[in-house]
Amino acid sequence: MMWRFLTILMLPAVLVGCNGSKRVITRLPPPAVPMVSSPKAPVTPAQPPKVPSRSVSGTVIVVDAGHGGKDPGAGERTKSRLPEKTINLDIARKVGRMLSDRGARVVYTRTSDVFIELADRAALAERNRADLFVSIHADSHHNPDISGTKVFIYERASMQSRRAGLCMVDAFKEAGIACRGLNSDNFHVLREHSRPAVLIECGYLTNGRDAGMLNTSSYRSRIAGTIVEGIVDYFSRYGS
């Protein structure tokens, strides 16, 4: 019986078709499927984060040196050897040169010791369709202990002016220069035109330390460079 059982196992399977004919199907193992590795997707290198442009190329910036000529600026209580008008002009010219080097078109309200009416300063910003108007001053106070820089915008300033002012405040803080923050006022040169505008008080001439520093060319250069950094930051973040 055992040999019959083995014989049956060795026989091919037999199927009977519908027409009664016999068809033999030998069950073979499926052919081996070659292992083909999938092509690797190309690796795209990580893109560096987009860094805003640090250029002011093509912008129009009006740089206004406060006072001048018959108007010396800060009064008799100052502890400064130089009058405010001279300090303002030196800082303004330094700011203008730095901006020009970066590709901006700089328009000065004055480049020498002359008196310019406030209305003419404001009109210059409007006529040149300034992307930013920057007025440069030094402050005074009856309290000689008051010190530091200060940034002003018009009391009903546009969002562009507010953003520019905040960038100036940030620049002073980044530079380690004391700043009394962003303030608003009704200054003529901020009010009487439609262009973005800030007014910067570069220190108090009634404060001995501020006055002493503003009487040195190196510190005026530092102040000018900081103002330029604030301007560049504004255009980098918000454009013209």
Q: Tell me what pLDDT residue 48 has.
A: 43
Q: Which stretches of the chain drop beneath a pLDDT of 70?
A: 1-53, 240
Residue 210 belongs to domain spanning: 60-238
**Following DSSP, what letter does each residue of 141-196 receive, concatenated?**
-SSTT--SEEEEEETT--HHHHHHHHHHHHHHHHTT--EEEEEEE--HHHHSSSS-
CB crowding 149-165: b at 16 or more within 10 Å, else e: bbbbbbeebeebbbbbb
Q: Tell me what pLDDT residue 55 has.
A: 80
Q: Tell me what pLDDT residue 53 has.
A: 54
Q: What radius of gyration, in Å, describes the C-alpha atoms of the chain?
A: 39
32 by DSSP, 3-state: which?
coil
Burial class (CB in 10 A: 0-12, 13-18, 19+), 101: exposed
How many domains is the chain partitioned into structurally? 1
166 by DSSP, 3-state: which?
helix
What is the rounded distance in angstroms from the CA atom of residue 204 to the CA atom of residue 198?
A: 18
pTM above the 0.85 mark? no
Q: Tell me what pLDDT residue 45 has.
A: 43
Residue 26 falls inside a structural domain: no
Q: Tell me what pLDDT residue 240 has.
A: 66
Single-letter amino acid, residue 176: G
The CATH code of the domain that includes 218 is 3.40.630.40
- State the DSSP H helix or E strand holding residue 139, giving kind and residue range, or none if neither: strand 132-139
Residue 135 falls inside a structural domain: yes
∠ Cα 144 200 154 (to 5°): 110
Residue 73 falls inside a structural domain: yes
Residue 22 falls inside a structural domain: no
Residue 7 falls inside a structural domain: no
Q: Tell me what pLDDT residue 6 has.
A: 41
